[in-house]
């Protein structure tokens, strides 16, 4: 997931605003107690998501893939007063851990945390979203995009994480491509060719595709 020289990444982190004490604690406890802690957005990407949210000043955010709540808290930092973030995750085993950190955050009343299948839940939502963050199973990225785009306001944004997939998206044709990599290749090509959005792929951490609905 690291594409920059370690020294460059460290320098970037040193010259990026600090995590809050709550986020530092969430980072530590996720790495200490939860499987696959690399799924956490982390300091640099978390500050990027916070900055984007603060630039947009959304009233409604949708997140697909909560994990332990780090990115949700970061995204909430830009919510307008009275705004709401709906975050969906399928892993009920993380619910107690994640809700504990939401309760400790200043955004408890702004977060609507739902356990279930996003492909079933998203069609039931009546909200119009200013910002959508997709960071869930890669197989369904294209489906998430198509479901969410119709619920995003014109001029609103979608961000998809892990679109470089540890560099696997540029494997040679001679290398057998796994299903997740193929799904991301299909997603990246699809959104790049979609006339309904403008896009930029940023090599931040594991790759962020940023899309604006036209």
170 inside domain: no
| Structural domain for 140, as ranges | 6-165+186-213
127 inside domain: yes
33 inside domain: yes
pLDDT along the chain (214 residues), means of 10: 84 97 98 94 96 98 98 98 98 98 98 98 98 98 98 98 95 80 97 98 95 98
172 inside domain: no
Contacts made by residues 97-104, CB under 8 angstroms, sequence distance 24+:
97/29, 97/33, 97/34, 97/68, 98/66, 98/67, 98/68, 98/69, 101/22, 101/25, 101/26, 101/68, 101/69, 101/73, 102/69, 102/72, 102/73, 104/22
Query: Residue 75 has what pLDDT?
Result: 98
173 inside domain: no
Q: Which strand (E) or helix (H) includes residue 26? A: helix 21-33
Query: Residue 173 has what pLDDT?
Result: 65
CATH code: domain of residue 39? 3.40.50.150
**Total domains in the fold of the chain:** 1
Nearest to 29 by CA among 64, 67, 68, 57: 68
175 inside domain: no
181 inside domain: no
68 inside domain: yes
Query: Residue 175 has what pLDDT?
Result: 74
Query: Residue 198 has what pLDDT?
Result: 98
Nearest to 65 by CA among 47, 85, 50, 48: 85
Q: Which two tokens stand for residue 111?
A: 């977060």
Query: Residue 171 has what pLDDT?
Result: 83
């Amino acid at each position: 997931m690291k594409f920059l020289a370690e020294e460059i990444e460290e320098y970037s982190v040193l010259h990026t605003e600090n995590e809050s004490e709550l986020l530092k604690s969430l980072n530590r406890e996720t790495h200490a107690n939860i499987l696959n802690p690399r799924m956490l957005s982390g300091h640099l990407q978390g500050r990027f998501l916070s900055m984007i949210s603060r630039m947009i000043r959304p009233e409604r955010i949708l997140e697909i893939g909560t994990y332990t709540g780090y990115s949700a808290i970061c995204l909430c930092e830009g919510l307008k007063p009275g705004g709401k973030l709906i975050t969906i995750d399928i892993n009920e085993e993380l619910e107690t851990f994640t809700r504990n950190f939401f309760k400790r955050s200043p955004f408890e009343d702004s977060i609507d945390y739902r356990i279930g299948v996003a492909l079933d839940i998203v069609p039931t939502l009546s909200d119009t979203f200013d910002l959508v963050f997709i960071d869930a199973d890669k197989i369904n990225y294209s489906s998430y995009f198509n479901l969410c785009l119709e619920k995003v306001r014109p001029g609103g944004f979608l961000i998809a994480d892990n679109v470089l997939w540890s560099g696997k998206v540029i494997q040679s044709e001679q290398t057998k491509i796994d299903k997740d990599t193929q799904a991301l290749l299909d997603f990246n090509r699809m959104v790049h060719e979609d006339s309904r959005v403008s896009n930029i792929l940023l090599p931040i951490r594991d790759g962020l595709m940023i899309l604006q609905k036209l």
